[in-house]
Structure 1
């Protein structure tokens, strides 16, 4: 089945500054050693953090403003990239989860924008849409608990009514988390700051190059725009 990924018109209208890109790859596994390359990207972030905290980065401030507009307290609910940067600053390292997730987390802190990695086989087609929740969607936390996003909360919703995120870029779902079983992935990068389109394009290019180097599998990617807001992926 072909699945279409898009941001709802309501989201694009409310956040015209949004820049987004998406990548699909099939044939990834948990055997690649991405640690040396991930260290390069985390090193870049560490160097930047030596001069300023993540809360001063324009990329992070832009997401804080977006969260505020969604009615969320930015220091209570942080974008995934801010949380990773904060952890890196405090602990000096990021957690090891999966070779591709670790690599994308490192790329996320290097560019200071959220980079989500989802197991594409755990997404029910034919549509995965970033949209305001109705309130009846089901979200699976990493601990297994079921939650329902609040009405109006921006989340990734598939055709089965499953929410693959809470509060947009705050937290991903345990249901579509990448693990040893994963073969196909969907990578989504999103930015809100000035110049975000260029950064998202660079993030996609970087992920493409790293996937090719470590797994030697084909990828498809696109920067999404209001004029071309959709990306189709399949088996």
Structure 2
């Protein structure tokens, strides 16, 4: 699959073994192929996992209340903290590509390989950031389709308003504070 091959090339360029560290969508596809199903985690995560499999594009769901300030994809300094799902604290290696916030928390390691237990979706989560990334040739048209699919499903299932955007080198920011303000307004109404 072109979508997976592009991530494997990207991981190789980062110095990672692409069959040891797989992007999230490849890991989901492998698990689904081997087991015939995926574990049920949370309705929103299950929905995003199904869409990730359908598009072969990694999708992550972050609990916005666990993110300090903005989140950015960048190289680690090595001082960031990453909370595993088992509760252990790790420190990403310097130059590793991570999702980091203003407090030095790493919310994902090895770019799209592993999400942090800190910002994982839980039953008490009220506001989320859903991120989809792709590197393959038709990513510029496939990612907006994936985002539209998620937005349509969220509106149909939960009747919620979704703010969405596509980031690029010419438009590298998505204002999380506006997304949080929208969520707060919805809770107050």
Q: Name the CA distance, whole Å, in 1 between partners of 2:17 and 2:151.
A: 34
C-alpha RMSD of matched pairs (Å):
0.6
Distance 1:226 1:147 in 2: 30
Q: How does 1:53-202 map to 2 (within 5 A)?
A: 57-125=1-69, 127-202=70-145
How many Å separate the matches in 1 of 2:122 and 2:142? 27
Aligned to 2:185: none
Q: For 1:215 and 1:123, how far apart are their aligned partners in 2?
A: 23
Give me the TM-score of the superposition, normalised by structure 1. Answer: 0.75
Structure 2's unaligned 5+ residue stretches are 181-189
- Structure 1, unaligned stretches of length 5 or more? 1-56
Q: Distance in 2 between matches of 1:177 and 1:214?
A: 21
Deviant stretches of 4+, over 2 Å: none
Shift in Å, 1:225: 1.4
SS at match of 1:221: coil
Which of 211, 215, 218 does residue 161 from structure 2 map onto?
Answer: 218
Q: Which has the higher strand share?
A: 1
Q: Distance in 2 between matches of 1:121 and 1:211?
A: 19
Matches of 2:64 and 2:149, distance apart in 1: 20
- For residues 156 and 225 of structure 1, the distance between their equivalents in structure 2, rounded to whole angstroms, comes to 16
TM-score by length of 2: 0.93
Structure number with higher relative contact order (C-alpha < 8 Å, ≥ 6 residues apart) = 1
Distance 2:110 2:128 in 1: 21
What secondary structure does 1:191 align onto?
coil
